[in-house]
Structure 1
Amino acid sequence: MERHRSVHHHIISYLFLSSSSIFFGFIFALVLLFTTTTNGLVKLPENITVPAVIVFGDSIVDAGNNDDIITEARCDYPPYGIDFDGGVPTGRFSNGKVPTDILSEELGLKPSLPAYKDPNLKPEDLPTGVTFASGGAGYVPLTTKIAGGIPLSQQLKYYEDYIEKLKMMVGEERTNFIIQNSLFVVICGSNDIANDFFALPPVQLKYNVDSFTALMADNARAFAMTLYGYGARRILLFGAPPIGCVPSQRTVAGGPERNCVVRFNDASQLFNTKLSANVDVLSRTLPDAKVVYIDIYYPLLELIVNPQEYGFKVSNKGCCGTGLIEVTALCNNYTAAVCPRRSDYVFWDSFHPTERAYRIIVVKLLDKYLNRFFF
């Protein structure tokens, strides 16, 4: 009982929150160099190649990097992954795929994007991309420390290791080509707002919402510049979602009616405005770079406000358990029943959308932003 109380306490805070031979590598490099066609659903502009998707960020795009660390921000157990390939809980914070899996699929790279720390990661997966993202991560170091996740600084160290492995596999010239032409995706910020600023009164004594969101946006800009220094030229920085409308935040701070929490959404929008401005500066000043701000706020809000238009029936609760508070350790096969029709729900648990919701959003974003990645 004490353990359950402890887990519950920490989850509330969180809410507020294989090596290959040289011969194999040589053979694979030859195959990679002479294979350029894909079966993706997205039609890329003529003469444009996207060899990989490389991802940094938080639980939205974590595919299991937290599985072997001591943290409550992990989900390598059922019912997570109930709709993933074979119903396997891989550490993805969803019933199925996460957005970057779907992006990889749409681009014709591979059906899903593996976690870099996955012990079953195959060498042939490296040239087409991986995710370094970690549940609980934030732009502000304290945010990640609270959740016990992998900070962005460590994600970058894993990236350095990835580059060295890639060079051993396909050579320096091909590695440089992959890095310069890949899509670098950075999705972060939700935890800073929900789990840090609004969850820890001492933080609010040091910052107000304006200065805190400025810190977030400035750290995001610095991270993008670091990626550019590593050779990245197509960098996508995602804004924060309407964090005040996710089920857990409605439950914790939305009052008896569980309304969307206005001050949380205002903070998300304030951060988004500052991040967008910083991205505009980077796109004008970094030579040969495409740095693009991606608005996720309104596409998700549209699903929440008008669920019926997209075939959803429930948008204010998650599918797992009561849908009010269950996420990570509270969403498990022993304590939380799963709704029989996941496709009826915008949210899988009380913090993360379902695969179906992600698919709708990714298609919307590709339609809106795809050409901006290349022109």
Structure 2
Amino acid sequence: MGKMKPTRINMNAPDATCPAHAQADHPRIPKEKIGVLLANLGTPDATDYWSMRRYLNEFLSDSRVIDYPKWKWQPILQGIVLTFRPSKSGAAYRSIWNEEANESPLMTITKDQTRAISKQLKSKYGDNVMVDFCMRYGNPSTKSKVANMVAQGCTKILFFPLYPQYAGATIATANDQFFRALMEENWQPASRTVPPYFDEPAYIDALAASVESAYADAARKPDILICSYHGLPERYLKEGGDPYHCQCHKTTRLLKERLGWDDTQIMTTFQSKFGPEDWLQPYTVEEVARQAKAGNKSIAVCAPAFSADCIETLEEINEEIKESFEEAGGENFLYIPCLNDDPAHIDALVHVIEKNLAGWV
């Protein structure tokens, strides 16, 4: 039988006490708590070549992200991709890097979201609920945060991947890592995972409010709103039955209905194509150019698949995709930021959390 790594209970925690009716020499243990562990994609620790290489190696080695056989993919990854891509990706990250905090915007925003959610839950449940965050790739790792929650006395953990729509390459791989972390614990907490929340009315309301606010402040009203979602290979949908494509389209439809718009005012596209095979279409970078050539000289783009602004929104949308639109004759490009730590978004996330804590609190 394999040897399990011991659970690391923090007997020096401020709230550690001896259990009721225990013998006098019983070790002190922390007060039982419920952990809420938020999870996002991840971020490199820095923008230099080796930091980027470590991050990209972990990300692109995930078989949920790139599902080619390892014997075929790893030589390409290690020999070609990781030789050239770290420098290019590092330059992209430097263009958006939070220099003051020396971290990526995704890290900054995720910290802000965690603090805001923690404040709300603490006001309702006191110290009985502990809120923290982890990253699927890079730091802080899922494993380290699960271990810390167990050490602090969390006997139940709600794991919340911050992706509105389900995809194997996002929610599933985040859950995989959470379950791997639980395998390291001798004293495993009870656990739950949060399902996709793309159709939660509070989330759609927050999304719609952000669009309405951006349109109200715009010098020129956009001719069309492009809802740009991170792409996936078409094969994942056709062969694997991944529901992501359907859930993205439903998100756009729900947003359209909430705004009271018609089909001419909004559409769904997909970005971030990687590799030679066909991905979900239409491609955002091509569609914005087509819109410009068709006479829609003023457009807005939002990214409903992202809970926080990151490299794919701040650099890819607001730089590369914007450039494609302008080169095709577009005149006014409006990027509508992700919901980030907007109070309406935080309220929506807290609502989802409380619904999934039912029976625990």
Shorter-chain TM-score tier = 0.3 to 0.5
Q: What's the TM-score, normalizing by structure 1?
A: 0.36
Higher CA-based Rg: 2
More strand by proportion, 1 or 2? 2
